[in-house]
Amino acid sequence: MREVEILLPVLDSAKKALDSLRKIKFAGSKKTLDIYFVDPLRTDLKPDSNGRLIRALRLRRKGDRNYLTYKKDNFGEKDIWLYSDEHEVQISSFENGFEILKQLGFEILVEIKSVKHIYENERYEIILEDVDELGLFLEVERKNIADDENVEVVKKEIREFIEALGIKVGQELNIGKPELMLRKKISTSPVR
């Protein structure tokens, strides 16, 4: 499945951003734990030379549901992220999923804890996400992307939708929260 979304840092307060989303159907708030894994024997799940995860293996606990996800990022002109091919399956036990990955030799790359406030309409899933150690983000994902749809056109529509929300946001990010967390950890690690 193609995942086409836009991620932006939110410059407004959480209260103001949530007030701006009131006109959209609220689907709930969920505590989320994402654990991204690397395989020490393979390079494809490791960050590239620019610190990006081109391919990612994630174990997620979102509320009372658990998922195992494999993602492959696709880039366009000027090496800008366009979309991800995402394969996700719900699993019954987060702990068992973690243990299976550990026993197969996978190691934790980064953990991300957040609270997601989820809104949706017929066309978009809108998430205001408060991420531990990183801050507040707005993520808007287009639902039901047809295989023949032009991703650039879809992203333009998402940008226009975001602008109409009236939430003050920063520049569109060309990386995801795992890469942001990795950069933060590198920048705050003591010099050796």
Element (H, E) at 156: helix 151-165
Q: How far is CA 152 from the centre of its chain?
A: 19
d(Cα 3, Cα 83) in Å, to the nearest integer? 6
d(Cα 67, Cα 90) in Å, to the nearest integer? 4
Per-residue confidence in pLDDT tens, the chain, 192 aa: 889 999 999 999 999 999 999 999 999 999 999 999 999 999 999 998 778 899 999 999 999 999 999 999 998 888 888 999 999 999 999 999 999 999 999 999 999 999 999 999 999 999 999 999 999 999 999 999 888 899 999 999 999 999 999 999 999 998 899 999 998 877 665 654
- Per DSSP, the three-state class of 129 is strand
Burial classification of residue 164, based on how many CB atoms lie within 10 Å of its CB (0-12 exposed, 13-18 middle, 19 or more buried):
exposed
